[in-house]
Amino acid sequence: MSPSLETAAHPQGLRRVAIDPVSRVEGHGKVTILLDAANRVQQVRLHIVEFRGFEKFIEGRPYWEVPVMVQRLCGICPVSHHLAASKALDRVVGASPVTPSADKIRRLMHYGQVMQSHALHFFHLSSPDLMFGFDSEVNRRNIVGVALAHPDIARKGVLLRKFGQEVIRATAGKRVHGTGSVPGGVNKHVSADDRALLQRDVAQMTAWARDAIGIAKQLHAANPALYDNFGRFRSNMLSLVRADGALDLYDGVLRARDAGGKILFDGASDQGYLDLIEEEVKPWTYMKFPFLKSLGREQGWYRVGPLARLQNCDFIPSPLAEAQRQEFIDWGKGEPIHAPLAYHWARMIEVLHCVEVIEELLADPDILAGELMAEGSRRRSGVGVIEAPRGTLIHHYEVGDDDLVTMCNLIVSTTHNNQAMNEAVRSVAREYLDGHELTEGLLNHIEVAIRAYDPCLSCATHALGQMPLDVALVGPDGELIDRVVKSAQGGFRHEGGSPTGLPA
Amino acid sequence: MTAPLLVFGWGNPSRGDDALGPLFVERLRAALPPTGGVDYLDDYQLQVEHALDLIGRQRVLFVDASLNGSAPFEVTPLRPVQDASFSTHAMSPQALLQVYCDLQGDEPPPCTLLAIRGERFELGEALSPSGQVHLAAALAWAPTWLGPAATLSLDLC
């Protein structure tokens, strides 16, 4: 078996298969697995088509339109793009820092976003797998099964998410298509009525967030062999941290650690991200592979998101979540935790932290009154970095004298995690691909590994009829041994014929 | 005040025919006199909390672009179905109805899916010519679903 499985050692003996998107619409994952004559796995690749062409879509637009337009990147976390773009363009209009009111209202919006996104992920998507195991019968591996076994969990998940949405509405102006954040600040305060409405429910949200962490911990304790090892690989980790090392999801400096937990760099300005990170292009996928320049292409790849953030920071600046983080760190017994399934546990600790931050900000009078906009000397370019629900999100713009965007560069969290997701799928293929039939069980194991990262599948397009996952198995003579496609409704079908499109 | 009818379209306005759902909602809202009998909602995509928007309705019309349905549109009744998506970035209307059942412990209101056939979904594209034709046909059908709530004297197209 090829050690890395990214590229077969002797590809001449293996057929290059081409995988065609099931439709022209982007938005699904594709996995290709190549076998040798002994049916051993020689190559595994995860293809995710994402954000192709978005930079060109933005270039040429007036800069003040950008924070609104970029929300169309993602229907799950539009606020993250809204705020990352605003932060970058704050630099362009010379509003750095923004006013205290603007900073706190934006933070409130962002923590509401992260909280609701995490709640959706855990309660609706991942908890069925986690609670019943990946091999449970399909008709129990769903939210209904969770609801039956834990009758309150689905309701808690929906209402936690609803609370986060209400935070966004109170700060962004609308539940969707928000316009609250603009280059230089925000355009409205939080109303006293909205604040009272949110404050009424905070205590309940805190209790539910603690319950969710309890579920995650129970799962790890019940089956540590599975939770500590499934899809596991070691990697570097990257995130923003506050200047004093605290967890900060809205702003900070860049810090990276190696797989052993040693700090690789710290205190790096987000404006200089290009000095730290480079993106590699590979011929078999549209999505790039970022890596830390200091370590190079082979050793420099990393992962981002809750698992990285909780281990990259020195502490969480809210007491309940920090106590939970300590327990999480202790689970690693002195070593960084690299298990993908630990993302879920980390995610729930962040939900609790978000609720604590929201409660603190709701009590701050600056969200009700104070200067909303700052201004300063105009600059030609700006970078905005934020910790989105799935990880570090970078927006970089250059703006001409005519106010039109001349350059746009986005590195989203799914791109940062590209190599990590590929590694997770390879780990699963090594462990679970037995023979040359793609079973529903194997497909589900692959899904569980990908789901831990919850990649953004060019997500704002979801026409009916789309197939979200496509897995192909290719033999040594190039024959397509098997191909399975799974629909969003759970339909699982084998398809014959050789697809065309991207090289394997 | 919750209106008895809800028209809910979703899609990305910046991706060609993916805008068919939100455009249907926008044009219907503009054409129909505000009687208080119909609520309108649009979003980029379906999310679990949209189940809460179904509470208290008599009927709901879901509207989305379709990749492979019949042109110009298909109309089908919806039933709750357990979701099996592997991503938070996709949710079916059937799965949303299942969430409603889980939350409310009851059957959802009668829900109908209007799937308007789309052709082009690339970022930055406008509605395709065929998408425009299909949208017009769907809007012309709208009074059939709205029933007495529709006093459509305006040009829906």
* Helix A153-172 with A342-362: angle, nearest 10 deg: 50
pLDDT along chain A (504 residues), means of 10: 58 41 44 79 78 80 94 80 97 97 98 92 68 57 53 80 93 83 97 98 96 86 86 95 98 98 98 96 83 96 97 98 98 96 94 98 98 96 96 97 96 90 87 72 79 66 51 78 67 55 40
Domain assignment of residue A106, yes or no: yes
Domain assignment of residue B118, yes or no: yes
Chain B positions in Cβ-Cβ contact with residue A488 (cut-off 8 Å): 83-85, 90-92, 95
pLDDT score of A467: 45
End-to-end Cα, chain A, rounded Å: 17
Q: Are residues A67 and A41 in the same domain?
A: no
From CA A214, how far away is CA A283, in angstroms rounded?
44
Domain assignment of residue B154, yes or no: no
From CA B61, how far away is CA B37, in angstroms rounded?
13
pLDDT score of B148: 76
Q: Work out the number of other CB atoms within 10 angstroms of the CB of residue A245.
A: 18
Q: What is the ipTM of this complex?
A: 0.77
Q: Nearest CA of chain B to the CA of A260: how many Å? A: 30
8 Å CB contact between B78 and B94? yes
Domain assignment of residue B153, yes or no: no
Domain assignment of residue B138, yes or no: yes
From CA A183, how far away is CA A171, in angstroms rounded?
15
**CB-closest option in A75, A463, A488 to B65:** A463
Report how far apart, in Å, the C-alpha atoms of B76 and of each of A13, A430, B101, B114, B132 are. 49, 43, 19, 7, 21
Domain assignment of residue B139, yes or no: yes
List the CATH number of the domain containing B104: 3.40.50.1450
A-facing residues of B in 133-152 (CB < 8 A) are none
Q: Work out the number of other CB atoms within 10 angstroms of the CB of residue A352.
A: 27
Domain assignment of residue A246, yes or no: no
Q: Nearest CA of chain B to the CA of A363: how many Å? A: 26
Half-sphere exposure in the Cβ direction for A360 (13 Å, CA): 13
8 Å CB contact between B22 and B73? no
Q: Any idea of the CA torsion for B142, B144, B148, B150, to the nearest 10 degrees? A: 20
CB pairs below 8 Å between A and B: how many?
Answer: 177
A458: left (phi over 0), alpha (psi -120 to 50) or beta: left
Rounded to two decimals, the pTM is 0.86
Note the pLDDT tens digit of each residue in B27-54: 999 998 887 899 999 988 888 889 999 9
Domain assignment of residue A379, yes or no: no
Q: Kindly report the length of chain A.
A: 504
Domain assignment of residue B22, yes or no: yes
Select the residue from A462, A471, A492 to test the B interface by mutation, using most B Cβ atoms within 10 A.
Answer: A462
Boundaries of domain holding B9: 5-147
Q: Are residues A485 and A358 in the same domain?
A: no
B143, with CB counted inside 10 A (0-12, 13-18, 19+), is middle
The angle formed by the CA atoms of residues A152, A211 and A121, to the nearest 5 degrees, is 75
8 Å CB contact between B112 and B60? yes
Interchain contact, B48 vs A124, CB within 8 Å: yes
Domain assignment of residue B155, yes or no: no
Boundaries of domain holding A496: 11-49+421-503
Q: Any idea of the CA torsion for A338, A340, A344, A348, to the nearest 10 degrees? A: 30
Q: Are residues A321 and A438 in the same domain?
A: no
The two tokens of residue A379 are 């600059």
**CB-closest option in B12, B48, B122 to A120:** B48
Domain assignment of residue A160, yes or no: yes
From CA A91, how far away is CA A81, in angstroms rounded?
16
What is the domain count for chain B?
1
Q: Are residues A208 and A104 in the same domain?
A: yes
From CA B97, how far away is CA A195, in angstroms rounded?
31
Domain assignment of residue A394, yes or no: no
According to DSSP H, which parts of A25-152 are helical?
54-58, 66-69, 78-92, 100-119, 127-132, 143-149
Interchain contact, A176 vs B10, CB within 8 Å: no
Q: Any idea of the CA torsion for A350, A353, A354, A359, to the nearest 10 degrees? A: 170
pLDDT score of A204: 97
pLDDT score of B86: 47
Determine the longest span between alpha carbons in chain B, in angstroms.
44
Chain B positions in Cβ-Cβ contact with residue A450 (cut-off 8 Å): 86-87
Select the residue from B10, B23, B52, B88 to test the A interface by mutation, using most A Cβ atoms within 10 A.
Answer: B88
Domain assignment of residue B56, yes or no: yes
Domain assignment of residue A471, yes or no: yes
Domain assignment of residue A241, yes or no: no
pLDDT score of A454: 74
**CB-closest option in B69, B86, B124 to A468:** B86
The two tokens of residue A478 are 């190039």
From CA B117, how far away is CA A69, in angstroms rounded?
25
The two tokens of residue A328 are 């999480």
Q: Are residues A111 and A32 in the same domain?
A: no
Q: Are residues A89 and A186 in the same domain?
A: yes
Least Cα distance to B23 among B64, B57, B79 occurs for: B64
Half-sphere exposure in the Cβ direction for A146 (13 Å, CA): 28
The angle formed by the CA atoms of residues B89, B93 and B96, to the nearest 5 degrees, is 80
Q: Are residues A31 and A67 in the same domain?
A: no
Q: Nearest CA of chain B to the CA of A177: how many Å? A: 8
Backbone angles phi, psi at A389, to 5 degrees: -50, -40
A-facing residues of B in 12-51 (CB < 8 A) are 12-15, 17-18, 42-49, 51
Q: What residues have CB less than 8 Å from A495, skipping those under 6 apart?
A: A483, A484, A485
A368, with CB counted inside 10 A (0-12, 13-18, 19+), is middle
* Helix A342-362 with A192-222: angle, nearest 10 deg: 160
What is the domain count for chain A?
2
From CA A289, how far away is CA A287, in angstroms rounded?
7
Domain assignment of residue A372, yes or no: no
DSSP secondary-structure letter at A406? E
Q: What residues have CB less than 8 Å from A437, skipping those under 6 apart?
A: A473, A482
| C-alpha A102 chain-centroid distance | 25
Annotate B53-79 with DSSP letters as a single string: GGTT-SEEEEEEEESSS-SSEEEEE--
The two tokens of residue A274 are 């290009």
pLDDT score of A171: 96
- The residue assigned the tokens 């810090």 is A255
Q: Are residues A72 and A26 in the same domain?
A: no
Strand ranges inside A340-443, DSSP E: 381-388, 391-399, 405-411
Q: Are residues A172 and A138 in the same domain?
A: yes
The two tokens of residue A297 are 């292409």
